[in-house]
Chain A
């Protein structure tokens, strides 16, 4: 029981980390290697509002999300739209966007260093024990898990039940055909990219309540998010959630029952197995 709850809580954290990248990569078709930096920026905003004015990170997200949305929209329009326009194939766009966002990630780290400094930003919020089935869990992790449920649930509903969601899914599946039925692909892709950025920054604000970050930790999160998104299947909200929870449960199980030193090894072993057996991911559509 203990393992399951701890694992689910960790899985919720992973879902927060990965969901934004899923939108950016799966829907907007931009492999954004600067995704982790957006997460760190969101975390820093939460830290700044908390230490500056004791404003709860749970409220800060309502400021962080629109700001990140706007920022990512600009990034897409200025840096990425030209790449989309000139790309002849999906493969070329992937290579170009990886190179561009890799560069952007350095710019982002540099900017954050200049603005925030290189110090660790770490604060205590809701770090009180909550008792569930005679075991204790951090309230901040439970809050982040709840937020993950709300965000992922809302995204899933929106993508599957609303017209705008359907449009986004259309551009993800077949951008060329989507244009034929009157969808403004460029505009919707920019929207999906910006939304992904907003979700990522929100995730950053939430996980900063229990993780210690500094300006250059973004890369670690990009990597983790990438593993989860690819494992779950690119462009599939369900897949990302399932992969995140699976990874959380697996790591906690290995740490508790076998040895905490083997968590990373176990995570990558599962990743490799998934890639070998289902290269398109757990829920992904076969590309061929």
Chain B
């Protein structure tokens, strides 16, 4: 009898020990993440956003957890699909804070969803270090929502970068001044095209073809045929992922011979290189990274090891870098949101994209604007003050 009681007690103690170890409530820090898993932007989020959430949580937990006020806390992530719908993003943030007890909420994905969710992050006082939003209105946003930070840059500097790169090619005699420009008829494409048109004209380029096409257009061959018929020396498209693929394919099929070929979102995606292989050597695109830098290469290697997928050559590293900013701030000042915000504003952070520091408008002033595929890597060729830019090359024939 006695022995049985002892055994029972021992078993109970063992169970308590197993259950009470790492799973004790106060040792776990709940992290909320909300971004598209379905809807029009799901494809982009699957490349750029979600793998980084996994990589960050696994990296932090592998070294024992996040150090909060001297105590090691393991991260536990709660993921919500916002279906690319701003209303769902806002609801998910509320649910994460009010019901799930998340102490950290990561920023959402894409310009539109970030801007739509900024007020709710502001109401809860959560630091929102955006990493996939491009906007020129950082000063306006930061005066209204001082908890919002912009990391990826804005339309104006990106257009400036594209103009600089093309001007350089023209001044070197690699291309003439005839430019064909198209854009997807969506907030992103329209804003950039409206910025770019006067900027290219001011730089002395002649717009020989200009057009927009609706989002989700299934056949872009009329667009590419017309662009080719105009006999341009350079082609620029402010495009979204499916059309970036379609325009490139049509350019190959039509054998569009230009010295500069620029497409926007998804040019930096690994799937782009996987699809077109060597034929994209010399293709220019939005974004870029310091591809030869040790920081990026280490990051890309771990990204592939942990998530089984390669990062893209633009926003992926930026997404991870903003998680690092949050991580370093929490380790420095604890979980008090007001203190975290002060810390982010007042410090420079060591991240996978290099030093990251915000100006008085909560804006990261130095980011990549244009990259180019060279020898299988998408290397940054223009930035607003990032190190490691390589010389831009003239695009040869499609292979």
Contacts and interface: CB of A to CB of B under 8 A. Distances in A.
Contact of B253 (A117, A137, A211, A224): A137
Contacts of A141: 221
Contacts of B253: 127-129, 136-138
A113 B217 CA distance: 23
Most A CB contacts (10 A, CB to CB) among B182, B219, B246 go to: B219
Interface string B16-56: 00000000000000000000011110110111001000000
A61 to B, nearest CB: 20
B43 A138 contact: no
Given A138-B221, A214-B42, A261-B211, A127 B216 contact: no
Contacts of A101: none
B213 A6 contact: no
Interface string B229-271: 0000000000001100110011011110000000000100101
A256 interface: yes
A6 to B, nearest CB: 5
A6 B219 contact: yes
Size category of the binding interface on chain A: 35 or more
B223 interface: yes
B225 interface: yes
A9 to B, nearest CB: 8
Closest 9 CB pairs of A and B: A118-B46, A214-B43, A255-B222, A260-B213, A212-B245, A216-B38, A212-B242, A138-B253, A120-B43
A48 to B, nearest CB: 13
Nearest to A125: B275
15 contacts: A118-B37, A120-B241, A120-B242, A121-B271, A122-B275, A124-B249, A127-B249, A127-B253, A211-B218, A213-B242, A255-B219, A255-B222, A256-B225, A263-B217, A264-B217
A3 B221 CA distance: 10
B104 to A, nearest CB: 23
B242 A215 contact: no
Contacts of A3: 222
Nearest to A221: B218
Interface string B65-104: 0000000000000000000000000000000000000000
B226 A138 contact: no
A32 interface: no
Interface in A247-266: 248, 251-252, 255-256, 259-261, 263-264
Interface residues of B, number: 43
A109 B36 CA distance: 13
A210 interface: yes
Nearest to B272: A122
Interface of A: 2-3, 6, 9-10, 13, 51, 109, 113, 117-124, 127-129, 135-138, 141, 210-216, 220, 224, 248, 251-252, 255-256, 259-261, 263-264
A124 B212 CA distance: 25
Given A120-B47, A136-B254, A216 B242 contact: no
A123 B37 CA distance: 22
B299 interface: no
Nearest to A211: B218
A212 B269 CA distance: 13
Contact of B46 (A117, A211, A251): A117
Contact of A124 (B45, B211, B277): B277
B43 A118 contact: yes
A11 to B, nearest CB: 10
Most chain B beta-carbon neighbours within 10 Å: one of A3, A118, A215, A256: A118
Given A10-B218, A13-B219, A212 B246 contact: yes
B276 interface: yes
Contacts of B254: 129, 136
Contacts of A2: 225
Contacts of A137: 221, 253
A42 B103 CA distance: 42
Interface string B334-377: 00000000000000000000000000000000000000000000
Contacts of A261: 185, 211-214
